[in-house]
Structure 1
Amino acid sequence: MTSFNSIADPPRPQPAHAGWALWEMGFRPLYLLASAFAALSIGLWALQFTGWLGRPYLQGPLWHAHEMLFGFALAVVVGFLFTAGRNWSNRPTPTGWPLAALAALWVAGRVLVLTPFGWAAMLANVAFPLAAAISLAIPFIAARNRRNYFFVGLLLMMSAAVLGIHLAQLGVIQLPGWVGIQLALDVMLFIMAVMGGRVIPMFTNNGVPGAKATRHPLLEKAALGTVLALLLADAMQLHGVWLAALAGLCAAAHLVRWSLWRPWKTARAPLVWVLHAAYLWIPVHLALRAAAAAGWVAPSVATHALTVGAIGGLIIGMMTRTARGHTGRPLRADGSDVACYVLILLAALVRVLVPLAAPAWIMHATLWSAALWSGGFALYTVRYWPVLTRPRIDGQAG
């Protein structure tokens, strides 16, 4: 498997403006937009509480969940897939004005959910993953890259999930909005499980000599298969003991999978250990989902283990690594990178562990976690603005 940090770009003319490269590859604008939004959205969340935003179309926890999934996380996934997809297919993915148009569509989705224009917000938010799926399908089909067709299907599922949320919000269908959120969370979990299984053992062996991270075929099938089973259970709105048993089995599979990657050998390689630390939140999330299904803990604790710990941690780890690798920089984390990792992982620990240990402190935990999260992604935005907007330092295209 070829590293995502050595993507071979199809020959293309050099940009006309040598000092500006934002539209040269998918990760550049989408990482920058996502990180800035991750930092700012917590402030918007606070403004909703105070009533300063009036009465937007999406409000309260539904807005928060919608924007973290279909705004922040989905933008990073699309940016990553556009970048990696060039390597997998040896075909171009959107650059230039098509990429700018897609980024503008993403921005429109973020703005419109804060207005009263619900139908326009729905169209923008459904169109973004749909357009991304089509843009990814074109090079994959041209290259007959069947191994990665399922990513197109997952993006289509995200489009369907957000469509269901909006149609329910607009009163067209009778469906709790949180069903679509949960299904989207499961799709995001599956994406992370697939990509984590592909890249974390490879990056571990490449970055830590003698680590000997391994994968077991049967365990891989069990880990991914139980996530798909969990997605199906959530689609059927299964609850109680059966959901608890399934989530517990899934947690065990992912914990054993993670242990085979030898995480204890990565302490001196921040670009690697951050991925291991983030992936550990997946079995933690699944164990907490089992406990929540049994009525032992609040479901929100399990959700934030996934969203803050796993999604936030894997995203900050991959955004620093791919931004460095695809701009010709050394694959070594500097102090700013490590600070980003620590802030995001601390945000997860505070948001999950404090409410478990002291439920009465949940408001304090939420505020501190939000501050840590915003600080981590604000630091990334400032630190990587020149990296993501300027040409590669090695003179290559991309």
Structure 2
Amino acid sequence: MTISLPPLQTTPPVTLPSPQGWPLLRLGFRPFYLGAAAYGMLAVPLWIALLLGQVSLSLTISPVLWHAHEMLFGFAVAVIVGFLLTAGKAWTGLATPRGAVLAALAGLWLAARLAAVFAPYAVYAALDLLLLPLVAVILITVLLRAGNRRNLPLGGILLLLTAANAAFHGAAMGLIDIAPVRALHAGLALVVMIECVIAGRVVPAFTMSALPGVKLQASPALELATLAATALSLALWVLAPPNAFTAVALGAAALLHAQRLWRWQPLRTRARPILWVLHAAYAWLPVGLVLLAMSQLGAVGVSAGIHALAVGTTGGLIIGMITRTARGHTGRPLQVSRLEVAAYLLVAGAAVTRVLLPLLAPRQLVIWLVVAAAAWGLAFALYLAVFAPWLLAPRLDGKDG
């Protein structure tokens, strides 16, 4: 007797929709990382050439203010925007701007950078003030729709950055009676707070995922104390005249950050450049806070602490994050090439040359500035050489994004 079996029921494979549109405009990190790297490559060497009288620009503000503002609200903000528009989608599962809307946001950023040199100051200020509140509204809306309240403070910090930027432009145009540099200090403090929040999440997570057997357990009390002490001490630095209490507050925050970093076991990352670059960059944070504390007492100039935070911490975290996240979001392995390691070392070298060597040999300041600018520019040129083709092309795995 023959027994006939019913045909097997198979589930048809799920066909994902094909990615649509120009790859550059499929996710926020693509145009903003590309723009930030190109701007970082050009703007710092240009600033040094301008400072040394080798070139001239038709700026409507002092070259020093242009340099400080553009590295914060041009370079660093571009990376922050690209990261948050990309992370917002990962955090919520909801779409963030792409296509024409993303092109408009990136175009607005670029227009402001060009207006700084080629347009009347009022046009530059107006264009420059539009991007951050738009991105803040987009991010907050996506987070609220997804019920993701944990990340809402990041949207609030973007709005505070908008306020600091508005204060800068208002002061530069004589509309408000504050020193423009104070608004820039506020902007740097807010960028550092964003880095404290994001690094506190990603650095230990990346470390545990890459190093089997490593378990890093956060201390809620230490995390809260570190963020609170940092916010308080930086607020005092921005708002109060130099004083001993602010110096103590900055020193206390530095100690908390050093303890936080040590709990992340940085010495175990030595064989993984994609990890140690983040740990090394974070190590500049307590160094920068200590140097700011010393400047409150007149022991060093304020520039040392500012550049420790801006070049060492911000620059180091940026080169580490824009390589790692761009690799992940273009479907590539999280194993960096020699060119990327060279870029890491160049940014670290730029920080040492810009911050520490002028303290040891101040008479050679011009040499240190030229060397630091060259190292910085070459680092981001290497990034572009590796990543620009990837940012302009579809993901290797065929997925969207």
In the superposition, relative to structure 1, how do residues 107 and 158 fare at CA in structure 2: closer, same or farther (>3 Å)? Answer: same
Gaps of 5+ in 2: 1-14
TM-score (norm. length: structure 2): 0.93
Helix, strand or coil at the partner of 1:155: helix
Larger gyration radius, structure 1 or structure 2? 2
Distance 2:19 2:56 in 1: 40
Match 1:99 to one of 98, 102, 127: 102
Instruction: Give 2:260's aligned amino acid.
Output: R
- The residue that corresponds to 2:31 in the other structure is 29
Helix, strand or coil at the partner of 1:273: helix
TM-score (norm. length: structure 1): 0.94
Instruction: Work out whether residues 55 and 116 of structure 1, in 8 Å CA contact, stay in contact via their aligned partners in 2.
Output: no
Helix, strand or coil at the partner of 2:150: helix
CA RMSD after TM alignment: 1.5
Distance 1:231 1:288 in 2: 13
Helix, strand or coil at the partner of 1:147: coil
- The residue that corresponds to 2:43 in the other structure is 41
Instruction: Work out whether residues 112 and 128 of structure 2, in 8 Å CA contact, stay in contact via their aligned partners in 1.
Output: yes
Gaps of 5+ in 1: 1-10
- The residue that corresponds to 1:159 in the other structure is 162
Distance 2:131 2:61 in 1: 18
Distance 2:19 2:398 in 1: 11
In the superposition, relative to structure 1, how do residues 123 and 14 fare at CA in structure 2: closer, same or farther (>3 Å)? Answer: farther
> CA shift at 1:236, angstroms?
2.7
Match 1:141 to one of 125, 139, 144: 144
Helix, strand or coil at the partner of 1:311: helix
Match 2:389 to one of 386, 390, 393: 386
Match 1:228 to one of 211, 227, 231: 231
5 Å-filtered alignment, 1:1-398, equals 13-16=17-20, 20-49=22-51, 50=53, 52-398=55-401
Deviation track 1:115-170 (CA, whole Å, cap 9, x = no partner) reads 35111111111111111111111211111211111111111111111111111111
Distance 1:316 1:295 in 2: 32
Instruction: Give 1:277's aligned amino acid.
Output: A
Moved more, 346-355 or 212-221: 212-221
In the superposition, relative to structure 1, how do residues 52 and 368 fare at CA in structure 2: closer, same or farther (>3 Å)? Answer: closer
Distance 1:288 1:208 in 2: 33
Distance 1:59 1:214 in 2: 47
Distance 2:380 2:238 in 1: 32
Instruction: Work out whether residues 257 and 286 of structure 2, in 8 Å CA contact, stay in contact via their aligned partners in 1.
Output: yes
In the superposition, relative to structure 1, how do residues 68 and 294 fare at CA in structure 2: closer, same or farther (>3 Å)? Answer: same
Distance 1:103 1:257 in 2: 35
Distance 1:12 1:171 in 2: 55
Distance 2:228 2:147 in 1: 25
Deviation track 1:327-377 (CA, whole Å, cap 9, x = no partner) reads 110111111111110110011011111111111111111110000000001
How many residue pairs match? The answer is 386
Distance 1:192 1:214 in 2: 19
Distance 2:178 2:16 in 1: 47
Instruction: Work out whether residues 115 and 123 of structure 2, in 8 Å CA contact, stay in contact via their aligned partners in 1.
Output: yes
Deviation track 1:161-215 (CA, whole Å, cap 9, x = no partner) reads 1111111111111110011101111101100011111010111111112233332
User: Percent identity over the alignment?
Assistant: 41
